[in-house]
A and B are shown apart, each in its own frame.
Chain A
């Protein structure tokens, strides 16, 4: 792996108010790869995406895309960089005042001079890719949760970005859609020569489609490797996560400042 990675995350630290969320993250996203980021709820995956997209600034360290330090870009540079990125938000973030068609066409209309006839074809293709051709005229509030997620997915890939960040693309999908979407994330990545990063809790599905996996716990990378390495590892952390066990090094509970017994007024 001698080529420069598309995204380099170097010693990134991030603190909300006083609570340290990320404590020295290092990652490399190589071109053409599909990378999964896993970790317990609240461990800072969405935060990491915000740092990559330049919506937040690391308190220490840096994120480089194509060699450029994101938090040092001015507004123009940042916008130019974001044009090459697609982000699927964890909760979809569809524009509620626009139809499905207008949502998917939004960036094409705003950022390109494509004629409407071509936009129509492109929107049809993107919707077909997520299995929702025919829903063009529905409004977001007429969609089911899973359908909204797929429309958001179609909108994310509208302009064929070179870096695609998917924040939990599989939540709310039935097993069939899940496999189809998983496959299309992989296919799309290969077809576009893009680099895709997905935050997911779906270990089985992601093991099938990704090239590399990072596990985050306690603000640091607890484990990383290819799917084969991950399957073969005997690290208790990974074992717990892959098999969804309640007992193990990953805490289920928020790090509260007082103990459960204290909160309930029980004396030990």
Chain B
């Protein structure tokens, strides 16, 4: 009975998925519950911010520059056909601040820092470091997991902002320096159109939400990984795939709420 088997498989997978989501939610609740140490001993969190930040900084800056350059080139071509090349600054800045900074920044963060986090936690578990800590009556969630979580939540908006800033600079390089759009109108149009509340704050909120999602997924996958080399490598892959999908899904929702007032 292939139909019965298919239905049974489907049911089995559904139950497993629901169970996993429940387990992940519990894990997330535990992180929040055991976050005291991350703030009381803030240097623990700062140390992780340093690691995740430094780890992702180069890729964020380089990617931001390239994206800005491409935006400048493409934007100029499109705007020229409407005779509004002077709005190039506005186009570049709005695209970056509203969308590309938070989204691409988070995608890069997931593949660079998120996967590293998963691998690190997975290996700590596989080599019984977390178990050893528990045997010392030190809660690994509060000592190891929570500081990493908050480091991600703190780093992500900063990295996204850097992405946007470098991107705008890339757009300036190609638009003003290379193509020759008027310098004054590039900046003044940008200033006139980018609204702090509507654009900048919403962009920061986006990257903040992405930061929470990516870091929580990365840590959960590491914590949940089977204690083997294969288990850790699968978990690392899952981190990147799941984070990417979740970022794009959340972006749809957030954009709809923020810019269309759904």
Contacts and interface: CB of A to CB of B under 8 A. Distances in A.
Contacts of B120: 97
Taking each of B120, B124, B134, B136, which has the highest tally of chain A beta carbons within 10 Å of its own beta carbon? B136
B30 to A, nearest CB: 12
A85 B129 CA distance: 16
B117 to A, nearest CB: 12
A261 to B, nearest CB: 31
Interface stretch (A103-111, A119-127, A241-249): A103-111
A97 B120 CA distance: 10
B131 A55 contact: yes
Interface stretch (A88-96, A198-206, A214-222): A88-96
Interface string B110-132: 00000000001001100111011
Contacts of B127: 91, 93, 96
| Residue in B133, B134, B137, B138 with the greatest tally of chain A CB atoms within 10 Å | B137
Given A91-B127, A96-B124, A96-B127, A110 B132 contact: no
Contacts of B132: 87, 89, 93, 95
B108 to A, nearest CB: 23
Given A55-B135, A82-B135, A107-B136, A91 B124 contact: no
Contact of B137 (A80, A91, A93): A80
A83 interface: yes
B128 A111 contact: no
A201 B126 CA distance: 24
3 closest residue pairs by CB, A with B: A93-B132, A79-B137, A82-B137
23 contacts: A55-B134, A55-B135, A82-B134, A82-B135, A82-B136, A87-B132, A89-B128, A89-B135, A91-B127, A91-B128, A93-B127, A93-B129, A94-B129, A95-B129, A95-B132, A95-B133, A96-B123, A96-B127, A96-B129, A97-B120, A107-B138, A110-B138, A111-B138
Interface of B: 120, 123-124, 127-129, 131-139, 143
Given A95-B133, A96-B123, 15 more contacts: A55-B135, A79-B137, A82-B134, A82-B137, A83-B137, A89-B131, A91-B127, A93-B132, A94-B129, A95-B129, A95-B132, A96-B124, A106-B136, A110-B143, A111-B138
